[in-house]
Amino acid sequence: MTSIAGLLERLFTESLVAIMGEDGRGVDPLIRPATDVRFGDYQSNIAMSLAKRLGAKPRDLAQKIIDHLPADAQRVCEPFEIAGPGFINIRLAPAWMAEQLNLVPGASPGTLDRLGIEKVAAPKRVVVDYSGPNIAKQMHVGHLRSSIIGDTIARVLDFEGHQVIRQNHIGDWGTQFGMLCAYLKEKMPAALDQPDQVHLSDLEAFYREASARDKDDADFHERARAEVVALHNKNESTLRAWRYIVDESRRHYLPVYRRLGVLLTQEDERGESFYADRLPQVVGDFEQAGVITAPPGLFPGGAVLRVEVSQGALVIFFENAAGEPLFKSPEGKPLPMIIRKSDGAFLYATTDLAALQFRIKELGAERVIYVTDARQAQHFEMVFTAARAAGWTVQSEGTASSEVQLDHVTFGTILGEDRRPLKTRSGENVKLADLLDEAVRRAEALVRATEADPDKRRGFSDEEIRDVAEAVGIGAVKYADLSQNRQSDYVFSWDRMLALEGNTAPYLMYAYARIRSIYRKGAETQEGELNATQAPIQLTEPAERALGRQILRFAETIESVAAGLRINLLTDYLYELAGLFMKFYEHCPVLRAETPELKASRLRLCDLTARTLQVGLGLLGIRTLERM
């Protein structure tokens, strides 16, 4: 399956080259999905934007572009139409669409279903930094978005054929570990000798008590500070305590990942501690350089870093070539990035500089994507600016050089019904594990209610009910989040996310199960095989055509998701697909189609729809069920 938009772009580019010579290759032919089905499937807006430059009337130019399209265009599309001021309306030819669908290979069990979608021609090595929970604290709802958005991005890029390196930048270093180690040594000395037998039952309480002691007890506070020094000096007993705390935290968050269908494993962990030894070097390099002028061309107005000591701390000031600050405080003063505090301690930013350097130089990243909430936007802008200006992001291979792409993918806040950040009734952060328990509990209640209804019951065993509830509950929470424009805040609503109607996981999962059941019924009574040779797909009815077109659009949807890292384009697509299937099923009898050929064709459309839903939900890390 090729991307239709991509194919149309190639055809139109050929026409532009025929008209304007090689200049035409640099022109974007402005292919867009049609705003209204009555105008066709796609449109090109290029004639209007190019007319002036070529000294032609837009409608005349539109005709010329149509006349110069390569012969293939007649096969792919129905006759072109010029509309209004010079839009070119593009309608895909049903025979061509059917041919494309017929080319999709069957799914082979045990291998990832790609629906015939090719991998990108130029794969990149991409680091995706996501989740990043803080050690010794339970994951709360704030970590949900980074974990699932990041995971979907990683899955999509992986599907596209990029080499994805997941990095879990856990917060496992810093002064608070002194207090945690001191507290652990005092309270649970046995844990250090028998780490596998003694467990912290409540990480959160442990953290709270340790902080309280640190505040109220001067003697303890002293010990905690000594532990910080001991940790930096790699004192064996302190390291043991630290390791115990990290292991214990991992025991809390790995199951949450597994439950969420987030693919992060222990191997993907590269926490802040990993970079601790590298910080003096990184900071030293900046300090020694003093003033760094960015390589020409990287920043529109130029960029200069001034590394200075300010009130005992080492800071980087950012300026453009005219000496104006690149970052300002709310009061309008130049805002520096602190990389070493006056007491010699390093900061979050210092670690991120070291991590970025490591990812580029040692992991060989050509692109690095960070997934955190929008509040860290300035932090990453500063880190990126420093790295670019220092020349870290220019990868050279032989004589060619390319710029490492750095992206900060941000997201908004999850709100409660009161439109304030979601909290428990008592005003605390909602623990992620509790939230997921509740989701599954609610989903189970819904399944049990259906099972109690003689008209609707499926006859599930207890075990099946629990399995369905788990998949639906978790899927609902994830989908409700991933279907949002990630930059906006959204209101968390159990009723909405668990509804069987609307753009929800239960609706899509139910559609999948229903289509599969139709397919199974049809395939049983089918003579001969349901493949393209025995049963070519035909797109005759409008509803068949609309469904076929939507299935074919999956490839370009994934392309757009990857291009803008906007996952809601995928959820919108899946919702539309399910809706078009329902219309098709309403208008086009499948099991009772007029001819065996038609039945076979429609069964294959069912199969392709179900597989597309499954692959699409799979990219969101949402499981499909054969029965629901």
409 binds ligand ARG (CB under 6 A): no
Residues 301-360 that bind ligand ARG (CB under 6 A): 352, 355
CB 143 within 8 A of CB 432: yes
612 binds ligand ARG (CB under 6 A): no
CB 369 within 8 A of CB 400: no
Total number of residues shown for the chain: 628
Residues 88-147 that bind ligand ARG (CB under 6 A): 129, 132, 134
In the complex, what is the shortest distance from the CB of residue 327 to ligand ARG, in angstroms, rounded to a whole number? 18
- Residue 340: left (phi > 0), alpha (psi -120 to 50), or beta? beta
Residues 352-371 that bind ligand ARG (CB under 6 A): 352, 355, 370
CB of 408 or CB of 553, closer to ligand ARG: 408
Distance CA 574, CA 433 (A): 28
CB 406 within 8 A of CB 355: no
Binding residue count for ligand ARG, defined by CB under 6 A:
9
In the complex, what is the shortest distance from the CB of residue 355 to ligand ARG, in angstroms, rounded to a whole number? 6
In the complex, what is the shortest distance from the CB of residue 164 to ligand ARG, in angstroms, rounded to a whole number? 16
CB 473 within 8 A of CB 447: no
Residues 366-395 that bind ligand ARG (CB under 6 A): 370, 372
Instruction: Reduce the DSSP state of residue 40 to 3 states and report it.
Output: coil
Q: In what order do the strands lie in the sheet with 337-340?
A: 291-293, 304-310, 313-319, 337-340
CB of 220 or CB of 253, closer to ligand ARG: 253
In the complex, what is the shortest distance from the CB of residue 605 to ligand ARG, in angstroms, rounded to a whole number? 44
Cα radius of gyration rounded to whole Å, the chain: 29
CB of 82 or CB of 135, closer to ligand ARG: 135
249 binds ligand ARG (CB under 6 A): no
CB of 13 or CB of 372, closer to ligand ARG: 372
Nearest to 116 by CA among 571, 490, 612: 612
* Position with the least CB separation from ligand ARG: 132
In the complex, what is the shortest distance from the CB of residue 283 to ligand ARG, in angstroms, rounded to a whole number? 17
CB of 127 or CB of 518, closer to ligand ARG: 127
Burial class (CB in 10 A: 0-12, 13-18, 19+), 71: exposed
Site map (CB under 6 A) of ligand ARG, residues 163-182, x = contact: ------x-x-----------
Nearest to 183 by CA among 215, 216, 224: 224
CB of 98 or CB of 128, closer to ligand ARG: 128
Distance CA 514, CA 606 (A): 10
In the complex, what is the shortest distance from the CB of residue 271 to ligand ARG, in angstroms, rounded to a whole number? 9
In the complex, what is the shortest distance from the CB of residue 507 to ligand ARG, in angstroms, rounded to a whole number? 33
Name residues whose C-beta falls within 8 Å of residue 375's C-beta, 6 or more positions apart in sequence.
Answer: none
410 binds ligand ARG (CB under 6 A): no
Nearest to 147 by CA among 128, 161, 174: 128
List strand residue ranges (DSSP E) for 248-404, in order.
291-293, 304-310, 313-319, 337-340, 367-371, 394-397, 400-403
CB of 406 or CB of 615, closer to ligand ARG: 406
CB of 143 or CB of 223, closer to ligand ARG: 143
What are the residues binding ligand ARG (CB under 6 A)? 129, 132, 134, 169, 171, 352, 355, 370, 372
